[in-house]
Structure 1
Amino acid sequence: MKLEWHVWIFLLGAVKGLDMDRLERSYIEGKTPDTTNIHGTNVATLSQTPPEGQQISTDGWTANCTSVASGHDCNQAFDADNSTYWQSASGTTIQSITIHLGDAEMAISGIVVVPLQGQNDTHLIEQHEVFLSNDGDNWERVAYGTWWPDESLKVAAFQPRKAKHVRLSAPAPTGIAISDISIYQDRYITPDPSLGAWGPTIDFPLVPVSAAVDAHSGELVAWSAWGYDQFTSGKAAKTQTATWSPTKQSVTRRTITDTHHDMFCSGISLDENSKIIVTGGADGGETSIYNTTDRDWFVGEGMNKDRGYQATTLLSDGRMFVIGGSWSGGVGGKNGEVYDVKTNTWDELPNAKVSAMYTKDRRTYRRDNHGWLFGWTDGYTFQAGPSEQMNWYGSADSGSTNGAGNRTGDQDAMCGNAVMYDNGKILTFGGSPWYEDKNATTNANIISLDKPSQDPSVIANAGGGMNYARTFHSSVVLPDGTVFVNGGQSYGVPFGQNDVQMTPELFIPDSSSENGGTWKTLQTNTIIRVYHSLSLLLQDGTVFTGGGGLCGSCESNHFDGQIYTPPYLLKADGSLRDRPEIQSVTPSTAKPGTTVEVTTAGPVDTQAAIIRYGSTTHTVNTDQRRIGVELKSTGDNKYTFDIPSEAGRAIPGYYMLFVMKDGTPSHSVNIQVTSD
């Protein structure tokens, strides 16, 4: 496909009426990056979606730069001639180009940069920052991060901001060269702090399909597949990873070859000590472990069965349970097995029957994908979906399977979400009867767990159902017990970008309500988040949401993430609220039933929460769970609360403790719940 720059249009979303088998073949094959013709030169697009809105005419633009190599002035970066380009001089630590768009204020939504072609990896931009300004003096950073160091198009998309000036900066002591810069404008979305706020955007050198938060550093560790922009179904024995540091405001990349594991489409769980355990996927039998203390990857013992799209969860005794995963290694028979983290051994559970959780998807290899698993008491796992049928899986001896009834008023909900938002209460929502090529639903249910021997209670039509039908969406439980939901499609097409939902929403629990709560719409976003996107709660109570794509030339790759700030952190004028502060927690490591003492900088609310760190891929985050705790004052801003006494209600691992003041959460402090 060769499109003129002004008609760079992305069409995959129109595939809804096409043959799904043909589409599936195209993205499993992992096609090479597409190209577009820009001013007579073919440039690799990496099949990215451009920023929302329209490209701005360059008429009337002026520019200045930190430095200029002889004959390559600033304005040659936007003169519609690829034989000319701006090149900075070498020797300056930070290089930047600042463009004045004219006197009219515009709602800027992003930039697209064409690196100088054929330069043999010299003068490329990797680390970068994008700033906007109205007056040329006061600047707001709207995007930053790291681009992959090649000659493909570089995109930075962000929530539209009104501006007259745009600046791109990059640390490049050897100089940088840019053939073309395009700037986009879109409709302005009036800020409303009561709905939260979007920004900034963090650019990644890969499509972040999978990710976990490192409890020790607060960093987000993300990965794609063997390729940073595509995958194939074969075994590649390596994975592209990137780490974003919220404190350093930086993104670093790394190719992992030591574990000989393509971790695309894997299962993920955080163990008791916050190590990230990644199983199966494209290399179906492998186990890789990221040690968050050493910040390095290690080889774990391989599973007994090859699996991809399986689900995993930690058990009450610290072992890890896995089930399903027919995307890799053959279809069917993917019964349960458990991994003992301490001994690095796997044991099969032949009586933990995967067939009990099959959906009715028309494709047999889809029927056991992305299970909604929740580790619970006595070594049991509750499977809430996506099958309509729910089950209890036991891990003793050879395992066990016991039906737990159906989600009332629901159906199979492939690629829907399930979140434990409070003390054994699970919210399920969205999804569709088949993995793809079906309408999504607004269905929502509240499931309340008690004993593994009992069927849970189910409230149908929770909150009256979502405002928007969604599949391929992502979600995060927040410190106040609400559940943030973002992205998705109303009609599920992997890698499609039609029928997208751009307005997130919030579930607000209310135990006094017949439906268990209400749904509220939030601030509309302008970056599409559908298949292969994710969301994770951060230590400061904000949400990282990003990704989507990883499909070669299917034109829906999103090499970025974005920060959403919930309303509980914002004043009416949009500035940040004052927050309560945790000064100390004793002990910081606790067994079930332990009483924990908390000292704060001032009085706080009696209601607080511990939230387990999350790990996520393909709509599944079996690690996150929130447990509401009651603070009992002991005087002098000292409080106590109890870890649940029954092991498994708080599965072992690291949790973020948040205290609240008038509805505003503190920055979190870690508490490790150990196995009993």
Structure 2
Amino acid sequence: MEAEIMVCGGAPRRAYGLTANMVYMKALSSCGRISVSDDHGRWKMETMPTPRVMSDMIILPNGDILIINGASRGTAGWDNARSPVTRPVIYRPNMRRYNRFSIMKASSRPRLYHSSAILMTDGRVLVGGSNPQENYNFTGVEFPTDLSLEAFYPPFLARKHKHLKPTVLSMDEILIYKKSFSATFTVPRFLRMGTVSIRIIAPSFTTHSFSMNQRMVVLKGVVVVAVSANTYKFTAFGPSTKEIAPPGYYLLFVVHAGIPSSGMWVKIQDST
């Protein structure tokens, strides 16, 4: 088992203090990945297309990482940032180096301090908020308080992928550690058995650019068999240990050829 953590962006040293003089330093554009399951793990560094501070990072069901919200100058804090970054970036960890970042369509709203993002069951990402002012201030400032919500649609939700999208028909709602479970799903055009994976994602609590508890686990022992035309059944095993997936509720996705189903809520526990 390999467990990785990824950290991107931020502000350089001295950035916070300089904002008192209305000096807004350029944010960091570096990204680092490290395997925490490797006793000799080392940071592997890459560079984002744009510098970014106060971003939110969301694990998508297909394993890609969404980097959204934030600014390219300044730092976190009351009215401490300038140059909002409105174009999200998707990082694809399994692509070749230097081809992993893709820039997405821009939002019309700057989202700075106190913005947030969270994965929804249908694969969209709910994005909302921005309050860089010390009080709720809706007028007369460069970046007013914004209470709006919007949804980001990852590329896998495009219509051209509809024929590859699985739909879960029935499944076990309780997953037991190391025990097998099964579910049936349909897909209009099934490619091959090796293109199916089962993934669980812990719902995160996102605040101040940190998504507490966020993790994705790819389950082991997946076997897929055809049941009827366009209908299939998979069998997989629950997580191996509580360290890998602590007890609680998760969203489970069936991913086929990189295209995820809608998420189904499941509960992971010791026994029934």
TM-score in same-fold range (> 0.5):
yes
Pick one of 498, 501, 526 that aligns with 2:85.
501
Deviation for aligned residue 1:634: 4.0
8 Å CA contact 1:643–1:650 kept in 2: the answer is no
Question: 1:577 is paired with a residue of what secondary structure?
Answer: helix
CA distance in 2: counterparts of 1:430 and 1:541, whole angstroms: 24
Which residue pairs with 1:439 in the alignment? 26
- Summarize deviations over 1:137-187 as a string: whole Å, max 9, x none: xxxxxxxxxxxxxxxxxxxxxxxxxxxxxxxxxxxxxxxxxxxxxxxxxxx
- Summarize deviations over 1:73-108 as a string: whole Å, max 9, x none: xxxxxxxxxxxxxxxxxxxxxxxxxxxxxxxxxxxx
What does residue range 26-45 of structure 1 map to in structure 2 within 5 Å? none
The one-letter code of the counterpart of 1:551 is: E
The one-letter code of the counterpart of 2:244 is: R
Which residue pairs with 2:223 in the alignment? 632
8 Å CA contact 2:166–2:260 kept in 1: the answer is yes
Aligned residues: 244
Question: 2:74 is paired with a residue of what secondary structure?
Answer: coil
Deviation for aligned residue 1:470: 0.7
- Summarize deviations over 1:290-316 as a string: whole Å, max 9, x none: xxxxxxxxxxxxxxxxxxxxxxxxxxx
Pick one of 42, 51, 57 that aligns with 1:458.
42
Which residue pairs with 1:646 in the alignment? 241
Whether 1:596 aligns to 2:181 is yes
Which residue pairs with 1:568 in the alignment? 156
CA distance in 2: counterparts of 1:624 and 1:674, whole angstroms: 18
8 Å CA contact 1:611–1:627 kept in 2: the answer is yes
* Alignment RMSD (CA, Å): 2.5
Deviation for aligned residue 1:638: 1.1
Which residue pairs with 2:5 in the alignment? 426
CA distance in 2: counterparts of 1:487 and 1:537, whole angstroms: 14
Deviation for aligned residue 1:516: 9.2
Question: 2:219 is paired with a residue of what secondary structure?
Answer: strand
**Structure 1 stretches of 5 or more lacking a match?**
1-421
Deviation for aligned residue 1:541: 0.5
Whether 1:661 aligns to 2:256 is yes
CA distance in 2: counterparts of 1:440 and 1:506, whole angstroms: 18
Pick one of 612, 615, 636 that aligns with 2:202.
612
The one-letter code of the counterpart of 1:563 is: A
The normalised TM-score by structure 1 is: 0.34
Which residue pairs with 1:176 in the alignment? none
Question: 1:659 is paired with a residue of what secondary structure?
Answer: strand
- Summarize deviations over 1:311-334 as a string: whole Å, max 9, x none: xxxxxxxxxxxxxxxxxxxxxxxx
Q: Percent identity?
A: 23
CA distance in 2: counterparts of 1:485 and 1:638, whole angstroms: 34
8 Å CA contact 1:423–1:628 kept in 2: the answer is no
The normalised TM-score by structure 2 is: 0.80
CA distance in 2: counterparts of 1:655 and 1:496, whole angstroms: 36
- Summarize deviations over 1:194-243 as a string: whole Å, max 9, x none: xxxxxxxxxxxxxxxxxxxxxxxxxxxxxxxxxxxxxxxxxxxxxxxxxx
Whether 1:674 aligns to 2:258 is no
8 Å CA contact 1:510–1:517 kept in 2: the answer is no
The one-letter code of the counterpart of 1:442 is: S
The one-letter code of the counterpart of 1:447 is: I
CA distance in 1: counterparts of 2:247 and 2:98, whole angstroms: 28
Question: 1:509 is paired with a residue of what secondary structure?
Answer: coil
CA distance in 2: counterparts of 1:516 and 1:450, whole angstroms: 25
Whether 1:580 aligns to 2:166 is yes
Question: 2:70 is paired with a residue of what secondary structure?
Answer: coil
What does residue range 192-231 of structure 1 map to in structure 2 within 5 Å? none
Pick one of 69, 72, 75 that aligns with 1:490.
72
- Summarize deviations over 1:36-86 as a string: whole Å, max 9, x none: xxxxxxxxxxxxxxxxxxxxxxxxxxxxxxxxxxxxxxxxxxxxxxxxxxx
Question: 1:568 is paired with a residue of what secondary structure?
Answer: helix
The one-letter code of the counterpart of 2:224 is: S
CA distance in 2: counterparts of 1:525 and 1:536, whole angstroms: 16
8 Å CA contact 1:486–1:504 kept in 2: the answer is yes
8 Å CA contact 1:547–1:558 kept in 2: the answer is yes
Deviation for aligned residue 1:647: 2.2
Question: 2:156 is paired with a residue of what secondary structure?
Answer: helix
The one-letter code of the counterpart of 1:556 is: P
CA distance in 1: counterparts of 2:3 and 2:159, whole angstroms: 32
CA distance in 2: counterparts of 1:497 and 1:558, whole angstroms: 15
CA distance in 2: counterparts of 1:488 and 1:632, whole angstroms: 41
Which residue pairs with 2:35 in the alignment? 448
CA distance in 2: counterparts of 1:430 and 1:466, whole angstroms: 8
Which residue pairs with 2:113 in the alignment? 531
Which residue pairs with 1:315 in the alignment? none
What does residue range 464-479 of structure 1 map to in structure 2 within 5 Å? 464-479=46-61
Which residue pairs with 1:551 in the alignment? 134
- Summarize deviations over 1:629-650 as a string: whole Å, max 9, x none: 3531244211111223132111
CA distance in 1: counterparts of 2:260 and 2:175, whole angstroms: 22
Deviation for aligned residue 1:497: 5.6
Which residue pairs with 1:217 in the alignment? none
- Summarize deviations over 1:406-443 as a string: whole Å, max 9, x none: xxxxxxxxxxxxxxxx9521111111235734432111
CA distance in 1: counterparts of 2:134 and 2:155, whole angstroms: 34
- Summarize deviations over 1:99-140 as a string: whole Å, max 9, x none: xxxxxxxxxxxxxxxxxxxxxxxxxxxxxxxxxxxxxxxxxx
**Structure 2 stretches of 5 or more lacking a match?**
20-24
CA distance in 2: counterparts of 1:470 and 1:607, whole angstroms: 32
CA distance in 2: counterparts of 1:646 and 1:620, whole angstroms: 25
8 Å CA contact 2:255–2:261 kept in 1: the answer is yes
1:647–1:597 Cα change, 3 Å: same
Question: 1:584 is paired with a residue of what secondary structure?
Answer: strand
8 Å CA contact 2:182–2:233 kept in 1: the answer is yes
CA distance in 2: counterparts of 1:616 and 1:537, whole angstroms: 10
8 Å CA contact 2:197–2:256 kept in 1: the answer is no
Question: 1:600 is paired with a residue of what secondary structure?
Answer: strand
8 Å CA contact 1:532–1:548 kept in 2: the answer is yes
- Summarize deviations over 1:599-651 as a string: whole Å, max 9, x none: 11245732231111121111111222111235312442111112231321112
The one-letter code of the counterpart of 1:426 is: I
CA distance in 1: counterparts of 2:52 and 2:103, whole angstroms: 14
What does residue range 160-559 of structure 1 map to in structure 2 within 5 Å? 424-434=3-13, 436=16, 437=19, 438-450=25-37, 454-455=39-40, 457-461=41-45, 464-493=46-75, 494=77, 495-496=79-80, 498-510=82-94, 513=96, 515=97, 518-549=100-131, 551-552=134-135, 553=137, 555-559=143-147
